[in-house]
Structure 1
Amino acid sequence: MTTIKRSSKGATVEALVASDPDLMKALMKQALQEVLEGEMTELLGAAPGERTDSRQGYRAGYYSRGLVTRIGKLELRVPRDRHGEFSTALFERYARSEKALVAALAEMYVQGVSTRKVKAITEELCGHSFSASAISAINKSLDETLARFATRQLEEAYPYLIVDARYEKVREDGVIRTQAVLIAIGVNWEGHRQVLAVELAHRESQSSWKDFLLRLKERGLWGVEFVVSDDHAGLRKAISEVLTEAVWQRCYVHFLRNALDYLPRKADDDCLQELRWIYDRRDIQEANRDLVAWISKWQAKYPKLVDWAESNIAETLSFYHLPRQHHKHMKSTNMLERLNEEIKRRTHVVRIFPNTDSCLRLIRALCVETHESWLEDNRYLNMTLLVEQKKEALRLAA
């Protein structure tokens, strides 16, 4: 495999491709290999060589598997585990996002490299050059499929909603700008996760988030009872205006990260760890008792942190009103963060998208694949527990 070296900050796409004709193929192979390694790490609960109590098994070498793509055949090393439990959907699900990724790379090369060099490079790697018409042909079928996914009617209720944003760099009118990628995941009453929406916005703001949520409602979103997000001010306001009946849960992971701003840099005691333990309690009563004890213990040493936490922590404890089995899944945006990490593995190959359409095309293609795999999986949550809890609450109220 070609060794991929980090370019200097000012290196152009033209210089990279000219210095290494196998760059496109090498980048694709590296990205897919990282996906396989990530899947194995997730299965085992540990990275290679990592010592952890949560480990579920051990690696047992690799076997070779070829994957035919538009840039040639890639020889990948598929990980094995000792019990033979590892399987990957990469080879079956790769086709759609591979086309989107190759199209993004091709557009980038067409825009950043002279016609003569594009022709020479793509003919060597792919057997043909990526002209504007060739790129258009690749994208046409993709765009039709992705448009149907993005505009589909939502015909069932989603009691749980998780929303978050990530950022990608896109070239617009010759200027590199940062675009916010807004994503929403829903959990239906059967307990299955679904990717509900993926859109681009110039920035995260109250108006962009409000428009995003309103478009979801126009497509039929209803029955939302519980929303998880970070503490972005615009997003919070949009949720309160559009999803008026929903309880809001501030992601506790983001909250703990924010807490570092109120803690001295050289703090090395158990203050934050004890704060984190509050989120592992059985119910809100236990959590509140631990919170009172935590405040009493650390008030004198870290008054800024304690005052801030006391004023804001209630927003992160909403999940205690859900069935206990749902707590670990619904107290943070981790479900969506994992999807974002998968997106990052692929978009990192492109680095700077040639236009917004290219960026949205690749990310939606990846989200469609995730969405379809979730539909085939066993249910993520047992939602009958929430139904029973609601019935019991009505009985007690009566």
Structure 2
Amino acid sequence: MAKSKRDTKSVELANQILENYQPETVEDMQNALKDIFGPMFESMLKGEMNHHLGYESNNKAEKETENRRNGYGDKTVKTSSGEVAIQVPRDRDGSFDPKLIPKRQKDVSAIENKVISMYARGMSQRDISSTVEDIYGFSVSHDMISDITDSVLPELEEWQTRPLSNCYAFVFVDCMYTTIRNQYETKKYAVYTILGYTMEGTKDILGLWLNETESKHKWMQIFDEIKARGVEDIFFISMDGVSGLEDGARSIFPNVIVQRCMVHLIRNSVKYIPSKDYKAFTKALRKVYAAPSLKACHSAFESFKQQWAAYPGAIDVWIRNFHHVEQLYDYGSAIRKVMYTTNAVESIHSSFRKVIKKGAFPNENALLKVLYLRIKELETKWDGGHIQNWAMVMNQLLVHESLKDRVLKYLA
């Protein structure tokens, strides 16, 4: 990958710092930055005072107010590089209330956190720069934004390799596609996401993986990786119909129960149905996969095949995959409600799309940073929450003969 070019002014400033301070350690570098932050903050505060009074200090001809400057007050502020002493301009009537560093505020390191937060919400570097300039009165270069957001990369790497739970009751897998710009070429990349439900009924995104295509070989590598990170057993995996995915999952987790997503089957079958019949077709299908019993499911399926016999392509999708519908009825209704669809992980992808709609990303790290920051927001939202009706799910797992021993093993 070609090295990205930095802004010329940023390079010149860095060279000036190195020449004037000759730092030899990280601490020396932080001290140099502290020396720079002070004058920078003071300059921006003077700009705010000019705006407040309506004239610059050297141009009193434009003065339209009786209020005027009244010296400076000393203040020590906390930055990400340490404490910095600055002088804050004052006005005669005390009406000046700076926006950059409000009165009584001493910690300005939050500016960096705000940049990261805006990046996590999918704002482009240009939008972030404009927003910071609107709020704080100074511009932030694209390189500076990239450097600030790069601070999450070590955390991202640690998260990607962290140990996982030894057992997940349910796992949902899916792919979505986005665009990465590689120099002058743009390519579609598959984002692989795995969502797990722990034995305690909490959600856990096991990781994010990128590949140019979705393939059974990549999925097998991912399953192998999560096993190496501590996953010993998975009860159920819900997935779409990627060829070979089911065999790939079983090759790593032999006892896993693989469930095709009913929603994906619906999408595959409506391709053969006129749009005017979509609603009636999906309503008839729901009577099949949501029937109260296997007997009722079979009866509904026979009626369904007769009712929609004019569309053999649609019927064939369900005939070929009907064993996945029948499999649902091996388990209680609470379990069926969880395992029948991959909507849980698709909801995460929907959240991802909100923050990647700004266009192509310059590299994989830029994309992963945005997605990881979005995941942290989702995890905060989920904190302490449990899957709906989880107690009933666990009870139905415990009474199922083929699952009881495995459940007890990981509840101990």
TM-score, normalising length: structure 2: 0.63
The one of 342, 348, 351 aligned to 1:342: 351
Q: Secondary structure of the equivalent of 2:329?
A: helix
| Aligned residue in 2 for 1:314 | 323
Q: Tell me by how many angstroms 1:286 deviates.
A: 2.0
Q: In the TM superposition, what are the counterparts of 1:144-183 in structure 2 within 5 Å? A: 144-183=154-193
Q: Secondary structure of the equivalent of 1:165?
A: strand
| Aligned residue in 2 for 1:328 | 337
| Closer/same/farther in 2, CA of residues 268 and 191 from structure 1, 3 Å limit | closer
Cα distance in 1, alignment partners of residues 302 and 259 from structure 2? 21
Cα distance in 2, alignment partners of residues 304 and 119 from structure 1? 52
Cα distance in 2, alignment partners of residues 345 and 359 from structure 1? 13
The one of 191, 202, 207 aligned to 1:192: 202
Q: Secondary structure of the equivalent of 1:376?
A: coil
Which structure would you say has the larger RCO, counting Cα contacts within 8 Å and 6 or more residues apart? Answer: 1
Q: Tell me by how many angstroms 1:372 deviates.
A: 3.8
Amino acid at match of 1:336: V
The one of 350, 369, 376 aligned to 2:384: 376
| Closer/same/farther in 2, CA of residues 96 and 370 from structure 1, 3 Å limit | farther
Residues 308-332 of structure 1: per-residue CA shift (max 9 Å, x gap): 3222222244333232123223211
Would the aligned equivalents of 1:194 and 1:375 in 2 still touch at CA under 8 Å?
no
| Aligned residue in 1 for 2:370 | 362
Would the aligned equivalents of 1:167 and 1:181 in 2 still touch at CA under 8 Å?
yes
Q: In the TM superposition, what are the counterparts of 1:188-267 in structure 2 within 5 Å? A: 188-264=198-274, 267=277
Which runs of no fewer than 5 residues in structure 1 stay unpaired?
Answer: 1-71, 74-93, 111-117
Would the aligned equivalents of 1:162 and 1:336 in 2 still touch at CA under 8 Å?
yes
Residues 151-180 of structure 1: per-residue CA shift (max 9 Å, x gap): 110133102110001111111122111111
Would the aligned equivalents of 1:149 and 1:368 in 2 still touch at CA under 8 Å?
no
Q: In the TM superposition, what are the counterparts of 1:36-115 in structure 2 within 5 Å? A: 98=117, 100-101=119-120, 105-106=124-125
| Closer/same/farther in 2, CA of residues 374 and 120 from structure 1, 3 Å limit | closer
Amino acid at match of 1:98: S
| Closer/same/farther in 2, CA of residues 281 and 181 from structure 1, 3 Å limit | same
Would the aligned equivalents of 1:163 and 1:184 in 2 still touch at CA under 8 Å?
yes
Q: Tell me by how many angstroms 1:134 deviates.
A: 5.3
Cα distance in 2, alignment partners of residues 100 and 228 from structure 1? 31
- Bigger drift between 283-292 and 219-228 goes to 283-292
Cα distance in 1, alignment partners of residues 400 and 234 from structure 2? 14
Which runs of no fewer than 5 residues in structure 2 stay unpaired?
Answer: 1-98, 101-112, 406-412
Query: Is it true that 1:276 corresponds to 2:286 in the alignment?
Result: yes
Q: Secondary structure of the equivalent of 2:199?
A: coil
Would the aligned equivalents of 2:120 and 2:371 in 1 still touch at CA under 8 Å?
no
Cα distance in 2, alignment partners of residues 120 and 225 from structure 1? 49
Q: Tell me by how many angstroms 1:268 deviates.
A: 6.7
Cα distance in 1, alignment partners of residues 134 and 279 from structure 2? 59
| Closer/same/farther in 2, CA of residues 319 and 371 from structure 1, 3 Å limit | farther
Would the aligned equivalents of 1:248 and 1:318 in 2 still touch at CA under 8 Å?
no
Q: In the TM superposition, what are the counterparts of 1:282-301 in structure 2 within 5 Å? A: 282-299=292-309, 301=310
Cα distance in 2, alignment partners of residues 342 and 120 from structure 1? 24
Q: Tell me by how many angstroms 1:336 deviates.
A: 1.1
Q: Tell me by how many angstroms 1:391 deviates.
A: 4.9
The one of 113, 120, 139 aligned to 1:128: 139
Q: Secondary structure of the equivalent of 1:340?
A: helix
Amino acid at match of 2:385: D
Q: Secondary structure of the equivalent of 1:352?
A: coil
| Closer/same/farther in 2, CA of residues 103 and 378 from structure 1, 3 Å limit | closer
TM-score, normalising length: structure 1: 0.65
The one of 346, 351, 360 aligned to 1:352: 360
Q: Secondary structure of the equivalent of 2:335?
A: helix
Q: Tell me by how many angstroms 1:251 deviates.
A: 0.8
Could you say what the CA RMSD is over the residues aligned between the two structures, in angstroms? Answer: 3.2
Cα distance in 2, alignment partners of residues 282 and 96 from structure 1? 51
Q: Tell me by how many angstroms 1:131 deviates.
A: 5.3
Residues 359-393 of structure 1: per-residue CA shift (max 9 Å, x gap): 01111221132234324213442242233322598
- Bigger drift between 247-256 and 258-267 goes to 258-267
Q: Tell me by how many angstroms 1:123 deviates.
A: 5.0
Q: In terms of Rg, which structure is larger?
A: 2
